[in-house]
Structure 1
Amino acid sequence: MPRSPSSPAFWRSPLRGPWFTSVLGVVLLVGITVLFVTGLLSYAAYNPDLSPVNDQTPDKGLLGFYLFAWPTDPSWLYRLTQGTHVTLGIALIPVLLAKLWSVVPKLFALPPARSLAHALERLSLLLLVGGGLFEFTTGVLNVQLDYVFPGSFYPLHFYGAWVFFAAFLAHAVLKTPAALRNLRHLRHEPPYEEGELVSPNPAEPTVSRRGALGVVGGGSLLLFGTTVGRGFDGPLRETALLVPHGGPEPGSGPGAFQINKTAAAVGIDARETSEDAWRLVVEGNGRTVRLGRAALLQLPLHNAALPIACVEGWSTSDQWWRGVRLRDLAALVGYETDTAPDVLVESLQRHGAFRRSALRDNQVRDPRSLLALFVNGADLTPDHGYPARVIVPAAPGVLNTKWVARMTFGDL
């Protein structure tokens, strides 16, 4: 038996072949395209053009050509797009690994390049495999709140996605016609195939190719079933066994819905959020207004039923929020409610990302965008941002800043 991986006879699995690889390739063609689109939408939702506050990917240049003002309708938009992105990404892991396994002999083939065209194909394959493993690995680590990256997750994942998808697109253009021909001509699993992926000396099969696809599909369904519940409340949420937010909701009562970071984790001191100590500073138009919680309660209060959805893919159902409209706070420093501008929001938190965040003018003007003081009929809990937090329809969770200390209105 050949000992070198560069020899075709080294790889003896009878499962490898054009039909098996083509089936996996078509699934990934659809799935990865959806992942890429929903990932770009997630980036747009962070309002990266509100520089330098929200923009953590400098020098994106042409890669930001598609950016647009993220809408506030429907209020569950980010919950849907990011939930799809994360859940589908996790469910596709078995398919990706099976696809890489099915073509691994190509990575060891010699000579490395038989021609310029072959060299370019090998290079695209290297970028495809490396980019795919990088994107899926960093995505899973982010979902698990394991921030072990050598830098911020956002630029790494953003730039990595463009490199990976460019290689993926080039590979798809080259290989999709052949894959579709394989599926069309080989409608039933062939007993024998020819091609560079087929071993010249195959081992005795222990499972059919359809059986192997069933194992891969079963693995994807298992991951889907133990992940998708993170986007729902009630008993279904407890089925999300593989994610940090799949267990029981924190505590009980009006504040018993998911959080990412507690007040203690970000350095909030209860003394600075007391009614005597805390003041909200509102600035804009050269004016400054300072309001305690009691003064805020004297302003017109409004209700909004809105979810919270985070980049890790988890979300809550609608919670009932009550507070002061952001556009009414802008009016305190001289802006008309229908011309309220962007706002920079600063938090009391001392640790972690997004201690400052910015919202676009369309988000500020939406009547459901609130500086919330209550949730579900009770005061905010410390972990949900007491004494005041921002809540905006369809915005990523990190833009719904907690423990708000200062709001500066004006074009950013």
Structure 2
Amino acid sequence: MRDDSRLPTSPGFWRSPLRGPWFTSVLGLVLLVGITLLFVTGLVSYAAYNPDLSPVNDKTPDKGILGFYLFSWPTDPHWLYRLNQGVHVTLGVTLIPVLLAKLWSVVPKLFTLPPARSLAHALERISLLLLVGGALFEFTTGVLNVQLDYVFPGSFYPLHFYGAWVFFAAFVAHAVLKVPAAVRNLRRLREEGEPGPTPRSAPAPASAQELVSPRPDPATVSRRGALWFVGGGSLLLFATTAGQSFDGLRRTALLAPHGGADPGSGPNGFQINKTAAYAGITAARTDQDAWRLVVTGPTGTVRLSRSRLAELPLHSSALPIACVEGWSTSDQWWRGVRLRDLAALVGYEDDPPDVFVESLQQRGAFRHAALRANQVADPRSLLALYVNGEPLTPDHGYPARVIVPAAPGVLNTKWVARMTFGETR
């Protein structure tokens, strides 16, 4: 008989003694919880942009029924987006070793022949292919967005959004097929202790035996040891990423783009998502003698210089900046004019409406943004002129920027030029 053990379609090709239903089951159950939480926090993050409010906020057009769950984003608690996105990004990075180990543990199943033994087996194989491809796509695009400000071809938002739905649909289908077997495998572990390269009691189903090498190499580490190794990798990634959301721990976030030291010192020395130079902001356009804020509403248009804005009633709010890449700052002390007071200047005395905000920004996304009426009405929502007791610097939005509780950083528009109340375009 011809020896085909050199081909990946042969069970003899895969020699690791670590592979088996128990090892795969443990990793699978961790991912069942982790990926479900990732999916939920991702959907919540998308809702925070209020994509059904205005086309300028909607980076995933033609989403159809996939936007069934969208809701008006609240302003309380003020740290809501900071927590949600911090969990989403940090958990995604932390799960990378678990995901890679899980994919490694099931790779022989991708090569088994025949491709389908039955309809149920065919559905399982299809779900597995979509699951593997979707997982690699989602984690890759997510990491690229966090680490490199996104270099993947096409827009990050629709690719990541639609990819998440395809991936999670395959994930649910695969979980329905595999969770009962995973639970049985773990129950067997409790009864027998850690399994060896081959089962020691009743034989596992044929689908599970596909993971067990018929001719395993000598073991150099136990399966428990391998799980500790995977867990250690996840812990290391967590320890070198999570700190980007906490000022006191930021220097520990060695693998995060907003880890390390703050970009400066003093009242304006906290993190930023884009510099004035990157956005194409010039001193000539923000000079206090030339710059005017244009505010429009039903009673007309008002043009306000920065000195005139500073003469209006000023209020303070302690709010963080939180970005889609997962980093955030602690609460900064902002001072400026309430958005609802600006709405009152142009005819909205009682119930301020939605507002369309335009920036001087020349390059990059979110040069325009829309805010909901509840965000405008919140007394903590400001057109800020000062932060931590000092005027804004150009990188932080001088001469004026929006700051709204619980909103993604990109909706806190910097270098504001125009505000149109009652219109979101």
Return the offset for 1:358.
0.7
Deviation of 1:286 after TM superposition, in Å, equals 5.3
**Aligned counterparts, 1:352-363, within 5 A:** 352-363=364-375
- Following TM superposition, by how much is the alpha carbon of 1:401 offset from its aligned partner in structure 2, in angstroms? 0.4
Distance in 2 of aligned mates of 1:326 and 1:155: 31
Structure 2 residue 134 is matched with structure 1 residue 131: yes
Residues 168-183 of structure 1: pairs in structure 2 closer than 5 A:
168-183=171-186
1:216 aligns with 2:219: no
Query: Sequence identity, in percent?
Result: 81
Deviations 1:145-167 (A, max 9, x none): 34222211111110000000000
- The match for 2:382 among 370, 373, 377 is 370
1:165 equivalent to 2:168? Answer yes
Gaps of 5+ in 2: none
Partner Cα separation in structure 1 for residue 56 and residue 299 of structure 2: 21
Match of 2:349 in 1: 336
For residue 209 of structure 1, report the CA deviation from its aligned partner.
0.1
Deviations 1:97-151 (A, max 9, x none): 0000000000011111222222221111111000000000000000013422221
Match of 2:145 among 142, 145, 157: 142
Looking at structure 1, the residues matched to 335 and 367 of structure 2 have their Cα atoms a distance apart, in angstroms, of 23
Q: Using the alignment, how far apart are the partners of 1:350 and 1:331 within structure 2?
A: 29
| Distance across 2 between alignment mates of 1:151 and 1:197 | 37
- Alpha-carbon offset, residue 86 of structure 1: 0.2
Q: Distance in 2 between matches of 1:404 and 1:411?
A: 16
TM-score normalized by the length of structure 2: 0.95
Which residue matches 1:227? 241
Kept in 1: contact 2:296–2:420 (CA 8 A): yes
Deviates more, 1:388-397 or 1:246-255: 246-255
Give structure 1 stretches of 5+ with no counterpart. Answer: none
Q: Please report the RMSD computed on the Cα atoms of aligned residues, expressed in angstroms.
A: 0.9
Task: Give the Cα separation in 2 of the matches to 1:204 and 1:186.
Answer: 21
What residue is the counterpart of 2:411 in the other structure?
399
1:406 CA drift (Å): 0.4
**Partner Cα separation in structure 1 for residue 21 and residue 349 of structure 2:** 64
Q: Structure 1 residue 313 and structure 2 residue 326: aligned? A: yes
Counterpart for residue 7 of structure 2: 4
Once the two structures are superposed, residues 31-75 of structure 1 have per-residue CA deviations (whole angstroms, 9 ceiling, x without a partner) of 000000000000000110122110111111110011001110011
Instruction: Give the residue type in structure 1 aligned to 2:221.
Output: V
Q: Report the TM-score, using the length of structure 1 for normalisation.
A: 0.98
Alignment partners' CA distance in 2, 1:18 and 1:205: 16
Q: Determine the structure 2 residue equivalent to 1:35.
A: 38
Tell me what 2:74 maps to: 71
Counterpart residue type for residue 92 of structure 1: L
Q: How does 1:383-398 map to 2 (within 5 A)?
A: 383-398=395-410
Choose which of 234, 253, 257 in structure 2 pairs with 1:244: 257
> How many residue pairs were aligned?
410
Give the distance between the partners of 2:298 and 2:123, measured in 1 at CA: 57
Alpha-carbon shift at residue 250 of structure 1 (Å): 1.2
Equivalent residue in structure 2 for 1:257, among 253, 257, 270: 270
Q: How far apart, CA to CA, are the structure 1 residues paired with 2:210 and 2:162?
A: 33
CA-to-aligned-CA distance 1:366-398 (integer Å, 9 cap, x gap):
000000000000000110000000000000000
Match of residue 190 from structure 1: 195
1:203 corresponds in structure 2 to 217
Q: Distance in 1 between matches of 2:260 and 2:283?
A: 27
Q: How big is each residue's C-alpha offset from its partner over 1:229-256, in whole Å with a ceiling of 9 and x where there is no partner?
A: 000012x110000011001111111001
> How far apart are the structure 1 equivalents of 2:343 and 2:78?
22
Structure 2 residue 169 is the aligned partner of structure 1 residue 155 = no
| Separation in structure 2 between the aligned mates of residue 22 and residue 409 of structure 1, nearest angstrom | 55
Residue of structure 1 aligned with 2:362, choices 346, 350, 362: 350
Partner SS state of residue 276, structure 2: coil
Separation of aligned partners in 2, 1:116 and 1:48: 40
Alignment-mate amino acid for residue 280 of structure 1:
L
CA distance in 1, matches of 2:126, 2:244: 38
- State the 4+ residue runs in structure 1 displaced beyond 3 angstroms: none
